[in-house]
Structure 1
Amino acid sequence: MANKVSGWKEKLLTHAKKEILIKFVAQAVPAYSMSCFLLPMKLCKELIGMIRQFWWGQVKNEKKLAWLSWDKMCLPKEKGGLGFCDLKSFNLALLAKQGWRLQINSTSLFSHVCKAKYFPRCSFVEASLGLRPSYAWRSLMAAHCVVRRCMRWQVGNGIIVRVWWDKWIPRPSTYKVLMSERPNFENALVCELINRATSEWNMEKINSWFLPEDRETITSIPLSTIDTNDRLIWAENRSGKFTVKSAYALALEEQ
């Protein structure tokens, strides 16, 4: 990539053309590697340095004044930035995609191999780094927090989802109910809150178990008349499907 960038400097390019080359070539070249491995911080800095030099028109050892910091250049254009990709955050977003696949697709060969070696008795979001992990597993675990933060349950029949511990409330801050002391119902499941005969919420239990803020949120969750299973969804997207764009926005926020 260094040879490509240095070759571009010899041509007279407008800022619009430079922006296209940076976004669709320079920042896209390492995408495959970033979807499998966590790039070392030193390498990320070197790549960013080459891109910045190209943008500001620096040639060889020449140095020119950078009128805008890289962090601000990575902001969306509607926020005053140029919309460039922060490589570290993009790397985490691509790794989060692999982590999400491990969490929801247990039938793939990739999932079978990783689960047998690294988390045989739990799911990906409950897994730990373990002893002597490979660099590939270390890379996936770097995006562990992104997957955990954006994952929540969509209530079906409620037989899997735990009332007090799982994320199932459509509240963007935590996706959990406001905890209160309920020792007798510590391991209660959401199915206990549903009237199976009418496929409606059991208002008597909801009014006695939860605070007013949670009552309104829970009763706003639609229930299916068909016996459907609970499923994991990506909370940052309205469709519930994972997108690298939403994961990148979250990783950028974390960075």
Structure 2
Amino acid sequence: MRLFLVALQFLTRLPVRLERFEPGWLNDCVRHFPLVGALVGTVGAVVLVGAAQLWPAWVAALLALTATVALTGGFHEDGLADTFDALGGVVSREKALVIMKDSRIGSYGALALGLSLLLRAALVAVLAARPLWGAVAALLASHTFARAAAVGVMVSLPYGGDVEHAKAKPLALAVAPRNFSIALGWCGLLGLALVVAGVHLPRLLVATCVAAVVALLMRQWLKRRLGGYTGDGLGATEQLAEIAVLLAFTASF
């Protein structure tokens, strides 16, 4: 519970209070990132279902997306924009890391962020126009699996930035593989619950696979360009995996 609260405090804007804090907790709390994702997805789903009773599907989708972004403070969206600003062009590793630290947004970042928001809103709107349970399942799965993808990248790569200037220094240290195993366990529990609730198993398996593919591709990209992961790179991984899972749920097969 303590590590879950640390993860909740780190990934969301919820006013979590801890009596004390140890840096090592931040390193180990990554095991519960998918559980925090499930909570964020639940909030989005509740807003979607409520809004769909009053407004068209596209409005409900935008409100649900707004709710999740507000809950996380745009944490992952910021990482997506910074990553594409830094790696979208052909620059050296050192220059890319400088760009990532720049609070201003450039053309690559603006395009990536804008297209990501539009695509996610469109995909959720498509799901909201169908029986709402499918949209609820997609939101839960996308937020949960996407955060597990980010943990997978973190566990499989060293830190690629400047450790001394890392915003969350404990996360720049080696993350134990057991944390990824626990993160996958949370994904497995959610997947089992969704199957029991009636989600088509092949669709859920495809969603799992595409999230894993995004993690692998991001791992290779970050390794080649930076020599490892950064916090912004993890945010980009989460966002792209979220889109991939939503695409799997909306695809016709």
- The answer to whether TM tops 0.5 is no
Q: Considering fraction of residues, name the structure with more strand.
A: 1
Q: Please, what TM-score do these two structures have when normalized by structure 2?
A: 0.28
Identify which of structures 1 and 2 has the higher relative contact order when contacts are C-alpha pairs closer than 8 Å and 6+ apart: 2
